[in-house]
């Protein structure tokens, strides 16, 4: 069947470069056709597997290029690797705070809060029963 052959060709292209429009173009099919095929759950699973395989390949290529740059003493590449692979070199956020004793609420505000929470609890329970 021509459809099966085209689907196989498309999936092969997708494992090489996991971009649907490019894989479709290289396989000689329209993007819309691919999305129609994707309505079939089995084909959708095959597509996802092909995309994952293609992404893994690209990740490997990217890491390989990064290592090559690091060997050439490319400082941005070295910095990138360290910041993303070693917790010691990650960007850090330092937070400084001064915590003071919170004043006690006046009795009338405490009472108002108790009433509010009591009413709120009733509203939540009513909503859960519906």
**pTM of the predicted model, to two decimals?**
0.62
Q: What is the mean pLDDT of residues 26-34?
A: 96
| Averaged pLDDT score across all residues of the chain | 89
Nearest-10 Cα torsion for 13, 6, 24, 61: 0
pLDDT category of residue 1 using cuts at 50, 70 and 90: low
User: Residues 88-119: pLDDT tens digits?
Assistant: 888 888 888 888 877 788 889 888 888 888 88
Count of other CB atoms within 10 angstroms of residue 9: 15
Contact between 89 and 83 (Cβ < 8 Å): yes
What would the pLDDT profile of 73-96 be if each residue is shown by its tens digit?
999 999 999 999 998 888 888 888
Element (H, E) at 7: helix 2-16
Write down the pLDDT at residue 130: 52
Q: What is the mean pLDDT of residues 29-38?
A: 96
The DSSP code for 87 is G
């Amino acid at each position: 069947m021509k459809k099966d052959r085209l689907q196989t060709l498309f999936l092969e292209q997708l494992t090489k470069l996991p971009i649907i429009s490019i894989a479709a173009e290289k396989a000689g099919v329209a993007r819309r056709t691919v999305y129609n095929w994707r309505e079939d759950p089995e084909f959708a699973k095959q597509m996802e597997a092909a995309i994952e395989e293609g992404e893994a390949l690209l990740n490997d290529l990217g890491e390989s290029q990064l290592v090559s740059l690091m060997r050439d003493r490319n400082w941005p590449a070295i910095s990138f690797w360290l910041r993303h692979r070693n917790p010691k070199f990650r960007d850090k956020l330092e937070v400084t705070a001064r915590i003071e004793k919170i004043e006690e609420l006046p009795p009338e505000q405490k009472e108002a809060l108790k009433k509010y929470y009591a009413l709120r609890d009733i509203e939540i329970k009513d909503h859960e029963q519906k």
